[in-house]
Structure 1
């Protein structure tokens, strides 16, 4: 198994990274839903054709696989892009191909934006202005409803991550319902994989911000990064991140190859990516001191996004329980609901 990205992956990653660097600085994340900055970011990404990443070439897409999904979403996480990209890039292609194939062309050209609510909470992340909502399919079971929300009544909900733009819809029109177990399973697996990769990117950004801070912040006439306690915290954080990275890459490889045991790799990837983000975020906050708590400082943009994603698409505890189930190990206590 080759963990290093292919040349094609590196090229795609570089192009996406450049667009996100240019179009998604922290000011764009702060601007949030409905802003000109976020609209420009969405237009730039549409111009790359990334919405068709997992759409077959016969349907106008790029025809790539989940290995590329990992590369792209690591960059999305690093920038904390405030768009419903997991839904649009990762989940929607398989669901629309099965339930509303006539909409694939609009998805590919960027004129169709999709939100997702797998746990049927009534809240859609980055939901302002989406055209469709994919509801259901948590855990890769049940059915996924394709809802047209263009004429639905809209409500908003508060979130610790203000850029998350949690939106609810009432009176949505049912376009189709997809209950093919293979499609529902694939949509769930891709959502889990994309979120895991995004957490890797967020963790890297948090670590980079912290390393830069401890190199320049001085106490007692020396950088605080020279203190043994700070070095130990950041070394522990890096260790968790570096353990998670190849596991997420493995999950992408196994999903792309369609290996029968991929559930174990995916569950492990999400559990380790969530745990890494938690450990890195805690170290970042600690090493920044009081400045890390302020909303004026950029750290909180990435920290709060990681908090939201740690529990999205199944928490670390949920995925560990799923892994034990798959291994045939009996569970004790109550299984996590999400």
Structure 2
């Protein structure tokens, strides 16, 4: 069994990394923080030109028809750059939810998925488990509802109240709206299944971003450790500083396996995909939180200041640690599987396939 990414996936990742490195710089992030919307129509158009807005849209609606194993590497790069645009919520959470609607909603699906693929529309997903909706102010369509209903609501039909985030790059809103038969697109068991799938994709996207953020914070700390000198030597030459970064590097490498397995599990509809997502979410969050802690130790207190780039990525990591289920929720899911459901563990079961 081959667990490596293919040349096309790696090449696409390289292209996205190069684009984001050049276009989503720390200086641009600060500019967006200071703007009214915090978002850039120009940048969104560039993402569309790169093909990213067509990523998860089915081919019949003008998309690329890719799955979770294709976009997990790209989500990492979005995290590494702390991309503020709602690309992941629109494409990796919202678009598959729309695509999974039944044939009774085919007209709605065709209209919005074609617009999304072309970069002419953005989605916001108000999952019932998330109290606030990210990027509702720039969304053309909002997917809202309770656990038993999914509603597709145009932006003009909602009222928004801004809520300040720890990370100024995240724009969060309380959404007031009136459910109606005209906005209802799924109910009952279908709605619960749609929200469950959206939650797993959202948690996986969050985990991938956290892993990218961990790598970015390590890179910043390493660069700083070679510039900052004490006793006539770069602080990066001191063993204690090396150990701080080495400890994070180990967690980053250990988190990659669970993350990529979770992506494959979702793509293949594995029976234990939710557990794999929770393991990935926990592993990536642990790496990101330790990266933030140790990078601050390398920088000293100045790492918190506005002028230092580290705070851009540290605040994003702290914010993402609390969305699409916090660590307590994902630990609880794994604990129930291990101690109440008797989940088989160990090397002999790692790659076992469920019986058909």
TM-score normalised over the length of structure 1: 0.90
Structure 1 unmatched ranges of 5 or more = 331-338
Given candidates 107, 126, 151, the residue that maps to 2:135 is 126
Give, in angstroms, the shift of residue 275 of structure 1: 1.1
Given candidates 211, 222, 232, the residue that maps to 1:200 is 211
1:210 maps to 221
Q: 2:126 matched to 1:117?
A: yes
Q: 1:36 to 1:157 in 2, by over 3 A?
A: closer
1:333 maps to none
Q: Does the CA-based 8 Å contact 2:80-2:213 persist in structure 1?
A: yes
1:269 maps to 280
Superposed CA offset, 1:272-303 (max 9, x none): 11111111111111111022010121111100
Q: 1:223 to 1:167 in 2, by over 3 A?
A: same
SS of 2:169 mapped into structure 1: helix
Superposed CA offset, 1:105-149 (max 9, x none): 111111111122324555222333212222357xxx644332222
Give, in angstroms, the shift of residue 160 of structure 1: 1.4
TM-score normalised over the length of structure 2: 0.85
Structure 1 distance, partners of 2:229, 2:285, is 31
User: Mapping of 1:40-79 within 5 angstroms?
Assistant: 40-79=42-81
SS of 1:163 mapped into structure 2: coil
Superposed CA offset, 1:163-201 (max 9, x none): 112223333666234341443322222111111111111
Structure 2 distance, partners of 1:144, 1:265, is 25
SS of 2:134 mapped into structure 1: coil
1:176 maps to 184
Structure 1 distance, partners of 2:72, 2:10, is 11
Query: Could you say which structure has the larger radius of gyration?
Result: 2
Structure 2 distance, partners of 1:273, 1:257, is 22
1:334 maps to none
Q: 1:122 to 1:314 in 2, by over 3 A?
A: closer
SS of 1:178 mapped into structure 2: strand
Structure 1 distance, partners of 2:94, 2:84, is 18
2:156 maps to 150
Q: 1:182 to 1:166 in 2, by over 3 A?
A: closer
1:221 maps to 232
Q: 1:318 to 1:36 in 2, by over 3 A?
A: closer
SS of 1:169 mapped into structure 2: strand
1:284 maps to 295
Q: 1:17 to 1:327 in 2, by over 3 A?
A: same
Superposed CA offset, 1:64-95 (max 9, x none): 11111201100100110111122101111222
Structure 2 distance, partners of 1:28, 1:3, is 36
Q: Does the CA-based 8 Å contact 1:149-1:172 persist in structure 2?
A: no
